Amino acid sequence: MTHRPDSPVEHAVDGRFADRTVIVTGSTRGIGAAIAERFVAEGANVVVSGRDTGRGEAVVEQITDASTADTAGAATFVRADMRKPDDIAALAEAAAESYGGVDVLVNNAAVQTETAVDGATLDDWEFVLETDFRGYWLAARAALSHMDRGAIINVSSNHATATMPAHFPYNAVKAGVNGMTRAMALDLGPAVRVNTVTPGWIEVDRTREELAEGQFAAVESIHPTGRIGVPADVAGAVAFLASPDAAFITGSSVLVDGGRGAVMQDDTLPDYRALAEREDE
């Protein structure tokens, strides 16, 4: 079967981000926590952030325990609600005060509502747009005041290009994030590169909740990789885009979806999960 990373640090490059400071918003669980862990493993000083102090401190402890290499960086937690501009400004200030500046910002914080276009309320609209869209812009603006050169990675979603019913305004906002990335890349270059990572199906708590009993294997079977993603897959793509290996990449969107974006009709597909299992026999 296609290799599934056991942890975010499995393919970490020792010392790649030594003496660099990274802010990861929405990193108290799931994809954000994996991104934070990957950067620390590669030598960065990482600011974990989110609204839940208990979860945030637990992630810092987990990262510290997992990163035992001499080249590993450090992690600290700063509570921040991405709907509150003052919190966002304070987050960037705290990163600069703790570690001397900001080199990488990963905009990952996101919320979604299970609402349709004709059922969403103004509260739904404001909840998603202020967190997933306005928060990205404000975080970038705050980080820039402490950033000489660096990179911004905006985490979007495959809902930006193809979606499902009752995912509004999340799907509209994610399309907007991709457009924001292009705008930022033009306005902030050449000192700061800005790119988007666009995850597809990733195995996090929300994914398990969305899939009915017995449906998980069916979803894996329609991925050309023979599996859905794990947070470590996204963390690897983010680390690459922040690294010198991506020095000539800006304004781009990297689709991390196990090949789902290449599919036209599901009914033409083989069972990729079964094929991968046979290859392992």
Residues carrying an active site annotation: 170
Question: What are the distances in angstroms from CA 227 to CA 35, 38, 63, 147, 257?
Answer: 20, 21, 26, 38, 10
User: What span, in angstroms and rounded, lies between the C-alpha atoms of 254 and 67?
Assistant: 27
Helix (H, G, I), strand (E, B) or coil at 47: strand
Q: How many residues does the chain have?
A: 281
Separation between Cα atoms, residue 274 and residue 218, nearest integer Å: 10
Rounded-to-integer distance, Cα 189 and Cα 120, Å: 37
Per DSSP, the three-state class of 166 is: coil
Q: How far from each other are the two terminal CA atoms of the chain, in whole angstroms?
A: 9
Asked if residues 168 and 224 have their Cβ atoms less than 8 Å apart, the reply is no
Report which residue type is found at 225: T
Measured CA to CA in angstroms, residue 63 lies from 103, 150, 154, 170, 232 at distances of: 20, 23, 22, 30, 13
